[in-house]
Structure 1
């Protein structure tokens, strides 16, 4: 059977319908003109025939791969501009220079780190998805790097870029309102990225197995995270909520944290408020921010003697086919390792541990609190 042009009563455009070598097609040409539709028919017939002989790799486009990636639970973050730029290009024809040119065009004045985050990372996530579906071949893509000699050592380091001792972190978290304090506590005892925590849903938390599943990580790959014993009472209190909101962590108003492409969520007020309350007591702690938890977790695991491979698995740095295959399965070595993180007494003594759910709706305004 071949493809034919047909009309539908509910559409002004011509449609393609038929089967070629077992591949069925029923789709709109998007065009009402008969002559133009016949050209599309000819091209599409050849594409389907090639696909039936050589497989999906021969015709799959970046846009089709991106759509499949999203349907499979992939992150839409930064993907729209790439789809517009590379959408109709066939995967088999894409080369490193195409990716580099897309990054330069979409982000002409951006630093290498920004182009890497907003262009290379989402592209590679889609490509890896296509590889798993046998739409593309395995390929090593190069990412941008800073030109040599451009690194400058600043006198001041941006908050969150360095680890802090857990005693220091505990004093800072103790000065926060309960809702953001619970978020910060979880960041310090999982090593998760803020955006990963804000998108965490109830179905992804296995309290009994001491395991958390991140379905859409920053790099576009799912991964599993061990749960520290210290966090168990917190999750036990937050998960039984019976409402339509599936997100585990919420603001003091009971709403999910807003996700932005440029920052992790709405913790800035909580951070600033804690700094002001500490400053009133003569305590200067300005080097703690949401990302501090991840850096501190990494450093403390090294101090505790955790093997580098285990540490990287916890933080999501070591992603291979085997680790992805067991994303949903609690891993005893990772759980044992995360429990080596220290828990200062001041952190254990925070009043909201008595009833985290009830305290989560309490809010301390800037400058207030003892």
Structure 2
């Protein structure tokens, strides 16, 4: 059978319909002119024939891969700009210099870290999705490197860029209002990024299996996260809500946290409040912020002797595609590893553990309950 031009009563455009070597086509040309439609027919027929012989790799475009990636639950963040850059270009024709040029064009004045986050990471996520569908070949893409020198010093001393001992974190979290304190507790005992925790939905938490599913992470891939036994009462309480809101963690007003691209800025009031309350007691803790939990979790796992591969899987750094096939399956080695993180008595003694759900609705302002 061949592909032919046809007319449809409900459309002024010419349509393609037919099949070649088992591959069916039924799509609009998008134009009304017969001669132009004939050219599209010729080109499309060759594409389908090539695909039937050589496979999807020969014709798959970045747009097709991106669309499939999104349908599979991939993150849409930063993809629109990349789709404008690469659009209908065939994956097999894209090279490292194309990615580098696009990153410089889109983010000419940005730091290497920003280009990596907003351009390289989403591009590679789409590419890896295409590889899994056999639309592209496995390829090692290079990312921009941070410039060495004194410019790094200022960034390194920012709050959240370094781990803190869990005893110090417990003292800080105990001074926070309950709702943000619960978020911080989960960050320290899962190693999740703030944006991942804010986006977490009830359906993705398996308390019995001690497992959390992140549908769309920063790297654009789904992953599973083990649940520390310490968090079980917290998740059991928060999942007991009976309303229509699906987000697990919420403000004291019962509303989901706003999803921000880069930080846990939604917790800024809770962070500032805790610092002021501690300062009144003569305690100076200014090195704890939402991202501190991730760094502290990573360091705590290392100190506990957890194998680097296990640690990387917990934190979402693993590049082993095999491990991502088991996103939904609780993995015993990861659960065992996360439970090696220490739990100070001061953290267990925080009052809101008595009833996390009730306390999550309470607000503390500069040391006074209301």
Q: Find out whether 1:365 has 2:365 as its counterpart.
A: yes
**Secondary structure in 2 matching 1:289:** coil
Question: Where do residues 34-183 of structure 1 align in structure 2 (5 Å cutoff)?
Answer: 34-149=34-149, 151-154=151-154, 157-183=157-183
Alignment length, in residue pairs?
370
Question: Where do residues 11-30 of structure 1 align in structure 2 (5 Å cutoff)?
Answer: 11-30=11-30
Instruction: Give the deviation of 1:321 after TM superposition.
Output: 2.8
Aligned to 1:194: 194
CA shift digits 1:241-269 (9 cap, x unpaired): 23332221112222222112233462122
Distance between the aligned counterparts of 1:288 and 1:169, measured in 2? 7
**Secondary structure in 2 matching 1:266:** helix
Is this contact kept in 1: 2:172–2:274, CA < 8 A?
A: yes
Distance between the aligned counterparts of 1:55 and 1:297, measured in 2? 44
Aligned to 1:5: 5
Is this contact kept in 2: 1:198–1:265, CA < 8 A?
A: no
Aligned to 2:287: 287
Distance between the aligned counterparts of 2:200 and 2:94, measured in 1? 34
Distance between the aligned counterparts of 1:40 and 1:155, measured in 2? 53
RMSD: 1.9
Instruction: Give the deviation of 1:86 after TM superposition.
Output: 0.7
CA shift digits 1:303-334 (9 cap, x unpaired): 22222222222212223133112222222222
**Secondary structure in 1 matching 2:13:** strand
CA shift digits 1:174-221 (9 cap, x unpaired): 121111111100000011111111121112111111111222121122
> CA separation of 1:155/1:76 partners in 2, compared to 1, >3 Å: closer, same or farther?
closer
Is this contact kept in 2: 1:194–1:265, CA < 8 A?
A: no
Is this contact kept in 2: 1:112–1:146, CA < 8 A?
A: yes
Q: Is 151-160 or 17-26 further displaced after alignment?
A: 151-160
Is this contact kept in 2: 1:195–1:265, CA < 8 A?
A: no
> CA separation of 1:341/1:179 partners in 2, compared to 1, >3 Å: closer, same or farther?
same
Distance between the aligned counterparts of 1:134 and 1:127, measured in 2? 10
Is this contact kept in 1: 2:162–2:292, CA < 8 A?
A: yes
Distance between the aligned counterparts of 2:335 and 2:148, measured in 1? 40
Is this contact kept in 1: 2:195–2:261, CA < 8 A?
A: no
TM-score normalized by the length of structure 2? 0.95
Distance between the aligned counterparts of 2:17 and 2:105, measured in 1? 38
Instruction: Give the deviation of 1:289 after TM superposition.
Output: 0.7
Is this contact kept in 2: 1:277–1:369, CA < 8 A?
A: no
Gaps of 5+ in 1: none
Distance between the aligned counterparts of 1:103 and 1:369, measured in 2? 49
Distance between the aligned counterparts of 1:302 and 1:28, measured in 2? 56
> CA separation of 1:324/1:240 partners in 2, compared to 1, >3 Å: closer, same or farther?
same
Distance between the aligned counterparts of 1:28 and 1:265, measured in 2? 46
Is this contact kept in 2: 1:190–1:297, CA < 8 A?
A: yes
